[in-house]
Amino acid sequence: MDLLTKYNIKNVKNVYRNLCPATLVEHALKTEPCKLMCNGALLVETGKYTGRSPKDRFIVDEAGVSDKIAWGKENVKISESSFDIVYKKISEYLSDRERVYVFDGFAGADEKYSLPIRVINEYASQNLFMHNMLIRPTKEQLKNFDEKFTVICAPGLKLDPKECGTNSEAAIIISFNHKLVLIAGSKYSGEMKKSVFSVMNYILPLSGVLGMHCSANMALDGSGDTALFFGLSGTGKTTLSADPNRGLIGDDEHGWSDNGIFNIEGGCYAKCINLSKEGEPEIYNAIRHGSVVENVVVNDETREPDYTDKTLTENTRVSYPIDFIPNKVVPGKGKHPRTIVFLSADAFGVLPPVAKLTKEQAMYYFVSGYTSKVAGTERGIVDPVCTFSTCFGSPFLPLGSEVYASMLGKKIEQFGTDVYLINTGWTGGQYGVGSRMSLKATRAIVTAAVSGDLAKSEYEKEPFFGLNIPKSCKDVDPAILNPRNAWKDKAEYDKTANKLAGLFNENFKKYHDMPKEIVEAGPKGNKRD
């Protein structure tokens, strides 16, 4: 059977399957409005959509699936009839193309839980993107490839919302019964990557595996000590996990099974904004021939990139295979983690630089998925804005939050994992008053945590959040470890800490099914005399 016939995509003159990166680059340059950067990377502009489009993402309301999904603003229902209409339109649209690109690869480095995925693309550049992001098959695996899920991406197809039951001309639709992801109207490649992650976060828990939106690295001393890093955008997850002294298992998506940790992906999708060779040499040097760069501005004559330029978007990105990282771990598997780090860039400046969490606190802060962003200002300083994302990845979690939290708690207890909350945000005052936590101090804290040294420290409990904070940490000024001590205005600290504690508690009210012990592990707030 033709590769595309089962998807009702017919009469395409040229169907290219698993082309090598060099050939995909060649095709992209001939058929798309893209160009090569001076370092050999393929540069594309994604047009109107320079990031994910949450309001255009849907899950089909299907028998046997609907009762498992945590429906809400992020898992939005779409009818089977609407899915059928969009599927037909995508099939007809691609049938009229001169060429279509197919990539067959795997999600999941652990063979027991690996999912064979077929990706069908209108554009060669997007096929190269998925060549980078999925785990690439051997010749033998490709010969006997049997896809279990398919992603079909047609950015050039603009939908009619009234006819298709969508919110706009774009749609990202997952059907678990049909084992299909349909993407129309958006050229932002991150939609494909995150759709695969959403699929895995539905499938893996059914097999007792926890899907996690985190990075992971491993000690290079032969011990196999593994660490996980959870954190929302801007918290330093990619930067802190890309440690030249440790092996990188993966930078974004992992599974935790009874066998240990495994990378879901075969590549990395890193932010480029303000990228420098000095600050992030591994990522900087990975931008070369075979990588796909999105929306970075380059000099028209020299084709030199300006990573500080936000003209097109602040969400500039690069996709590259993990092979481009010198200290990668291949295959992407590790032992059960000895250390887990939750990263929060607290612009309120009241969370400690580091706190060791109990199992119940770990589940609370995992479910909360907290960071904060600096609000835009016109005059004076405006309060920071809280961001809570369930389990540090709510847009990609089809099941209820209690499913993922419960699995994390059981694994932490089973394998004796130490869990730390690390603040990469502000100290000595909130944004506009205090200062940003130094990267040097944060790196020292992370080093102490993953090495096991921090677990041996003497701790004290702070009153607002009930967190255990170390009295000392190697290469870190002890004066900043207790955040209240770092503030000149202690009364203002108390006021701000109470405010943030209240925001945590207000956010947690929506988790109605959480066990009492997890709810009580949250901050209580405290009024000092």
- Indicate if 17 belongs to the active site: no
Active site residue 237: yes
Compute CA distances 211 → 35, 257, 268, whole Å. Answer: 36, 9, 17
| Cα of 427 vs its chain's centroid, Å | 26
Q: Which residues of 6-29 are buried (b: 16+ CB within 10 A; e: fewer)?
A: ebebeebeeebebbebeebbebbe
Report the alpha-carbon distance of residue 1 to residue 135 in Å, rounded: 25
Return the SS3 of 306. strand
C-alpha to C-alpha distance for 290 and 435, rounded to whole angstroms: 39
Out of 97, 194, 254, 333, which one is annotated catalytic? 194
Catalytic hit among 237, 246, 333, 356: 237
CA 372, 485, 240, 204 torsion-angle sign: negative
Tokens of 73: 């603003």
**Rounded CA gap, 144 and 40, in Å?**
33
* DSSP-derived secondary structure for 59-83: EE--TTTTTTS--SSSS-EE-HHHH
Please state, in angstroms and as integers, the Cα–Cα distance from residue 47 to each residue in 21, 78, 312, 418, 507, following that order. Answer: 23, 26, 9, 44, 35
Indicate which residue of 238, 291, 424, 496 is catalytic: 238
Q: List the end-to-end C-alpha distance of the chain, in Å, as a whole number.
A: 77
Residue 495 neighbours by CB under 8 Å, 6+ apart? none
Going by their DSSP bridges, the two strands 297-298 and 333-334 should be labelled as unpaired
The 3-class secondary structure across 180-242, one letter per residue, is EEEEECCCCCHHHHHHHHHHHHHHHHHHCCEEEEEEEEEECCCCCCEEEEEECCCCCHHHHHC
> Which is catalytic among the residues 52, 193, 246, 338?
52
**CA 316/CA 50 separation, integer angstroms:** 8
Question: Catalytic: 252?
Answer: yes
Residue 238 bears catalytic tag: yes
CB 371 within 8 A of CB 504: no
Q: Which is catalytic among the residues 31, 95, 168, 233? A: 233
Is residue 254 part of the annotated active site? The answer reads no
> Which of 110, 252, 346, 418 does the annotation list as catalytic?
252
Q: In 10 A of CB 308, how many CB atoms?
A: 12
317 is catalytic: yes
Instruction: Name the active-site residue from 57, 213, 328, 336.
Output: 213
CA within 13 Å, CB half, 24: 29
Q: Which residue has the tokens 């370092």?
A: 39
The yes-or-no answer on residue 52 being catalytic is yes
Gap between the Cα atoms of 391 and 388, Å rounded: 9
8 Å CB contact between 150 and 117:
yes
Q: Which of 193, 317, 336, 338 is labelled catalytic?
A: 317
Catalytic residue list:
52, 194, 213, 233, 237-238, 252, 317
